[in-house]
Amino acid sequence: MMHGLEIYPDTLDAQSCDYIINLFNNDDRKTQGITADGIMDGRKKSTDVYCNFLHHEFKPYSDIILPAVQTMVDKIKQQYMFLDYCDYWRVCPWYNIQYYTDGEGYSQAHCEHSSTYPNRMLAWMIYLNNAKCGTEFPYQKIKVRALRGQGAMWSAAWTHPHKGVTPNIGDKYIVTGWCEYFDHTRQEERYLQNTKSDLLPHQSLQWVTDIVRDDTE
């Protein structure tokens, strides 16, 4: 059954998951988690590191996470072939690593597409450890278990509201991010103007946009 929510076991191996958790635990950039609209009001209780695939400072995370996301993208494109006919889209450079401890969680149902982020088309998540909780999708009547290395990808639209299974029991580590539509006519212009030294050595927009539709096909 195709319900716009796909689960991909073993998206990351155990060693990679443990490595990311160790990096996170020793990362001094951790901050209190906020909702997509930038609010800290108790709906989301977590500790986060906000990352970017294009920033060199996050390369230790990105070198492991991006290939895993690419694998999920390749799989969902095979399952939903219409994605090849959608407008130009890419893996969004921004992503979050999140930690929840006892009693924390994202308790309110929400979707990833909004007036704040109108270009989001898909959302993805990778669980980094086994936890006695997970993610609930009420419209799909599915609860995704938090299993180490398990990935999920789903529509960012209002059809797929979701929330953490709360209260959280024990520790839960996840990585979350998105795929987004983008204006390909301004793509080259934007990156030619970007001369920041914190871009990855193999700096190329293709690194995060190699999933976009190719009009030459």
pLDDT for 216: 35
Collapsing DSSP to helix, strand or coil, 51 comes out as strand
Quick one: average pLDDT of 23-37? 85
Contact 88, 212 (CB under 8 A): yes
Contact residues for 159 (Cβ-Cβ < 8 A; gap 6+):
4, 111, 139
Of residues 31, 30, 1, 43, the one with CA closest to residue 163: 43
pLDDT tens, 46-73?
Answer: 788 999 999 999 999 999 999 999 999 9
> pTM, whole model, 2 decimals?
0.82
Collapsing DSSP to helix, strand or coil, 182 comes out as coil
Is the Cα dihedral 89, 178, 6, 147 positive or negative?
positive
Other beta carbons within 10 Å of 180: 21
27 pLDDT more than 70: yes
pLDDT for 41: 63
| Alpha-carbon distances, residue 5 vs 17, 21, 76, 88 (angstroms) | 22, 25, 9, 21
In the chain, what are the domain boundaries? 5-176+183-209
Angle at 53 between CA 8 and CA 165, to 5 degrees: 40
Quick one: average pLDDT of 210-216? 38
Please give the class, per CATH, of domain 5-176+183-209.
mainly beta
Measured distance CA(50)–CA(167) in Å, rounded: 24
204 pLDDT more than 80: no
